[in-house]
Amino acid sequence: MKDALTSERELLRRIAAGDGVAFRHLFDQYRQLVFGFAYTHLRTEALADEITQEVFIKIWIAGDKLTDIQSFEPWLRTVTRNLTYSYFRKVKQQRDLLDGYASALPEEGLDTTSQDLDYGEVRRLLHNALASLTDQQRTIFRMSREENMQYKDIAAALGITEYTVNYHLKKVLAHLRDVLGNNLYALLLGVWVIFS
Protein backbone atom coordinates (compact mmCIF):
# COMPACT_ATOMS: atom_id res chain seq x y z
CA MET A 1 0.00 0.00 0.00
CA LYS A 2 1.28 3.40 -0.98
CA ASP A 3 2.17 5.74 1.88
CA ALA A 4 -0.40 8.56 2.05
CA LEU A 5 2.43 11.10 2.30
CA THR A 6 3.54 10.27 -1.24
CA SER A 7 0.32 11.59 -2.67
CA GLU A 8 0.53 15.31 -3.38
CA ARG A 9 -3.20 15.78 -3.07
CA GLU A 10 -3.24 13.97 0.26
CA LEU A 11 -0.28 16.06 1.48
CA LEU A 12 -2.07 19.29 0.58
CA ARG A 13 -5.28 18.10 2.23
CA ARG A 14 -3.40 17.22 5.41
CA ILE A 15 -1.47 20.50 5.44
CA ALA A 16 -4.75 22.39 4.98
CA ALA A 17 -5.96 20.56 8.10
CA GLY A 18 -2.87 21.72 10.03
CA ASP A 19 -0.76 18.56 9.84
CA GLY A 20 2.83 19.60 10.62
CA VAL A 21 4.31 16.22 9.63
CA ALA A 22 2.77 16.50 6.16
CA PHE A 23 4.05 20.07 5.88
CA ARG A 24 7.57 18.95 6.82
CA HIS A 25 7.40 16.21 4.20
CA LEU A 26 6.32 18.71 1.54
CA PHE A 27 9.04 21.13 2.65
CA ASP A 28 11.71 18.42 2.42
CA GLN A 29 10.43 17.37 -0.99
CA TYR A 30 10.30 20.85 -2.57
CA ARG A 31 12.74 23.02 -0.60
CA GLN A 32 15.60 22.53 -3.06
CA LEU A 33 13.41 23.40 -6.05
CA VAL A 34 12.35 26.70 -4.44
CA PHE A 35 15.81 27.52 -3.09
CA GLY A 36 17.45 26.67 -6.43
CA PHE A 37 15.19 29.01 -8.40
CA ALA A 38 15.67 31.85 -5.93
CA TYR A 39 19.43 31.34 -5.72
CA THR A 40 19.79 31.25 -9.52
CA HIS A 41 18.16 34.68 -9.73
CA LEU A 42 19.36 36.34 -6.51
CA ARG A 43 22.85 34.84 -6.26
CA THR A 44 23.00 35.02 -2.47
CA GLU A 45 22.22 32.18 -0.12
CA ALA A 46 20.69 34.44 2.54
CA LEU A 47 18.18 35.96 0.11
CA ALA A 48 17.39 32.58 -1.44
CA ASP A 49 16.76 31.25 2.08
CA GLU A 50 14.48 34.19 2.79
CA ILE A 51 12.46 33.62 -0.40
CA THR A 52 12.26 29.89 0.44
CA GLN A 53 10.92 30.70 3.91
CA GLU A 54 8.35 33.12 2.46
CA VAL A 55 7.13 30.54 -0.07
CA PHE A 56 6.60 27.88 2.58
CA ILE A 57 4.96 30.35 4.95
CA LYS A 58 2.49 31.13 2.15
CA ILE A 59 1.84 27.41 1.76
CA TRP A 60 1.24 26.94 5.48
CA ILE A 61 -1.14 29.88 5.80
CA ALA A 62 -3.00 29.08 2.55
CA GLY A 63 -5.21 26.69 4.52
CA ASP A 64 -8.22 25.33 2.65
CA LYS A 65 -7.08 27.01 -0.58
CA LEU A 66 -4.44 24.29 -0.88
CA THR A 67 -7.08 21.71 -1.68
CA ASP A 68 -8.10 23.76 -4.76
CA ILE A 69 -4.64 23.46 -6.33
CA GLN A 70 -4.84 21.08 -9.27
CA SER A 71 -1.15 20.89 -10.11
CA PHE A 72 1.08 21.74 -7.16
CA GLU A 73 4.53 22.03 -8.72
CA PRO A 74 3.57 24.61 -11.37
CA TRP A 75 1.69 26.54 -8.67
CA LEU A 76 4.78 26.39 -6.44
CA ARG A 77 7.02 27.61 -9.27
CA THR A 78 4.65 30.54 -9.89
CA VAL A 79 4.62 31.55 -6.23
CA THR A 80 8.42 31.32 -6.07
CA ARG A 81 8.85 33.32 -9.27
CA ASN A 82 6.44 36.02 -8.10
CA LEU A 83 8.17 36.44 -4.73
CA THR A 84 11.60 36.55 -6.37
CA TYR A 85 10.53 39.17 -8.92
CA SER A 86 8.77 41.14 -6.19
CA TYR A 87 12.11 41.26 -4.38
CA PHE A 88 13.73 42.67 -7.54
CA ARG A 89 11.09 45.40 -7.73
CA LYS A 90 11.75 46.36 -4.10
CA VAL A 91 15.50 46.52 -4.74
CA LYS A 92 14.92 48.75 -7.77
CA GLN A 93 12.76 51.10 -5.68
CA GLN A 94 15.45 51.23 -3.00
CA ARG A 95 18.13 51.95 -5.60
CA ASP A 96 16.00 54.73 -7.04
CA LEU A 97 15.68 56.24 -3.55
CA LEU A 98 19.42 55.99 -3.03
CA ASP A 99 20.13 57.50 -6.44
CA GLY A 100 17.81 60.39 -5.64
CA TYR A 101 19.53 60.93 -2.32
CA ALA A 102 23.01 60.66 -3.83
CA SER A 103 22.19 63.19 -6.55
CA ALA A 104 21.11 65.67 -3.87
CA LEU A 105 24.47 65.41 -2.06
CA PRO A 106 27.05 68.13 -2.72
CA GLU A 107 29.67 67.42 -5.38
CA GLU A 108 33.24 66.63 -4.39
CA GLY A 109 35.21 69.68 -3.54
CA LEU A 110 32.22 71.52 -2.09
CA ASP A 111 31.55 71.91 1.63
CA THR A 112 30.45 68.44 2.77
CA THR A 113 29.50 69.39 6.32
CA SER A 114 25.82 68.66 5.63
CA GLN A 115 26.74 65.29 4.12
CA ASP A 116 28.85 64.45 7.19
CA LEU A 117 25.93 65.42 9.38
CA ASP A 118 23.63 63.14 7.39
CA TYR A 119 25.97 60.21 7.89
CA GLY A 120 26.41 61.12 11.55
CA GLU A 121 22.65 61.23 12.04
CA VAL A 122 22.23 57.90 10.27
CA ARG A 123 24.94 56.38 12.48
CA ARG A 124 23.25 57.72 15.60
CA LEU A 125 19.80 56.47 14.56
CA LEU A 126 21.12 53.05 13.65
CA HIS A 127 23.22 52.80 16.82
CA ASN A 128 20.17 53.63 18.95
CA ALA A 129 18.02 51.16 17.04
CA LEU A 130 20.59 48.39 17.50
CA ALA A 131 20.99 49.24 21.19
CA SER A 132 17.28 48.57 21.74
CA LEU A 133 17.52 44.99 20.41
CA THR A 134 17.90 41.92 22.58
CA ASP A 135 21.46 40.64 23.01
CA GLN A 136 20.70 37.64 20.80
CA GLN A 137 19.20 39.77 18.03
CA ARG A 138 22.16 42.15 18.11
CA THR A 139 24.62 39.23 18.02
CA ILE A 140 22.83 37.56 15.11
CA PHE A 141 22.59 40.84 13.19
CA ARG A 142 26.31 41.59 13.63
CA MET A 143 27.32 38.02 12.69
CA SER A 144 25.21 38.28 9.56
CA ARG A 145 26.12 41.82 8.49
CA GLU A 146 29.62 42.38 9.88
CA GLU A 147 31.07 38.91 9.53
CA ASN A 148 28.97 37.93 6.48
CA MET A 149 28.19 34.58 8.11
CA GLN A 150 25.58 32.32 6.56
CA TYR A 151 22.47 31.37 8.51
CA LYS A 152 23.67 27.80 9.06
CA ASP A 153 27.02 29.04 10.45
CA ILE A 154 25.32 31.51 12.80
CA ALA A 155 22.94 28.78 13.94
CA ALA A 156 25.82 26.39 14.62
CA ALA A 157 27.84 29.03 16.48
CA LEU A 158 24.92 30.00 18.72
CA GLY A 159 23.39 26.53 19.11
CA ILE A 160 20.05 27.54 17.56
CA THR A 161 18.18 26.58 14.39
CA GLU A 162 18.46 28.35 11.05
CA TYR A 163 14.76 29.17 11.40
CA THR A 164 15.53 31.03 14.62
CA VAL A 165 18.32 32.97 12.91
CA ASN A 166 15.98 33.88 10.05
CA TYR A 167 13.21 34.85 12.49
CA HIS A 168 15.49 37.17 14.48
CA LEU A 169 16.98 38.81 11.38
CA LYS A 170 13.51 39.54 10.04
CA LYS A 171 12.54 41.03 13.42
CA VAL A 172 15.70 43.18 13.46
CA LEU A 173 15.15 44.51 9.94
CA ALA A 174 11.49 45.25 10.66
CA HIS A 175 12.53 47.06 13.85
CA LEU A 176 15.14 49.11 11.98
CA ARG A 177 12.58 50.09 9.34
CA ASP A 178 10.15 51.14 12.08
CA VAL A 179 12.76 53.19 13.91
CA LEU A 180 14.03 54.88 10.76
CA GLY A 181 10.54 55.54 9.43
CA ASN A 182 10.05 56.10 5.73
CA ASN A 183 13.70 56.92 5.15
CA LEU A 184 14.63 53.53 3.77
CA TYR A 185 17.70 55.03 2.17
CA ALA A 186 18.89 56.02 5.64
CA LEU A 187 18.69 52.41 6.75
CA LEU A 188 20.71 51.26 3.76
CA LEU A 189 23.26 54.05 4.06
CA GLY A 190 23.56 53.46 7.77
CA VAL A 191 24.27 49.78 7.30
CA TRP A 192 26.85 50.53 4.62
CA VAL A 193 28.52 53.28 6.69
CA ILE A 194 28.72 51.28 9.91
CA PHE A 195 29.32 47.78 8.64
CA SER A 196 31.36 48.32 5.49
Whether residue 121 is predicted with pLDDT greater than 80 in this model: the reply is no
Give per-residue pLDDT as tens, 124-153. 766 777 788 888 888 888 888 777 788 888
Whether residue 102 is predicted with pLDDT greater than 60 in this model: the reply is no
Per cent of the chain over pLDDT 90 is: 20
Q: What are phi and psi of 71, to 5 degrees?
A: -135, 105
Please state the rounded mean pLDDT for residues 89-105: 60
Domains of the chain, residue spans: 4-86, 105-195
CATH code of the region 105-195? 1.10.10.10
Give per-residue pLDDT as tens, 13-35. 999 998 989 999 999 999 999 99
Q: Is 168 within 8 Å of 107 (Cβ atoms)?
A: no
Give per-residue pLDDT as tens, 24-75. 999 999 999 999 999 898 888 888 888 999 899 989 988 889 989 988 999 9
- Give the class (CATH, top level) of 4-86: mainly alpha
Q: Please, what is the average pLDDT of the chain?
A: 76
Whether residue 79 is predicted with pLDDT greater than 90 in this model: the reply is yes
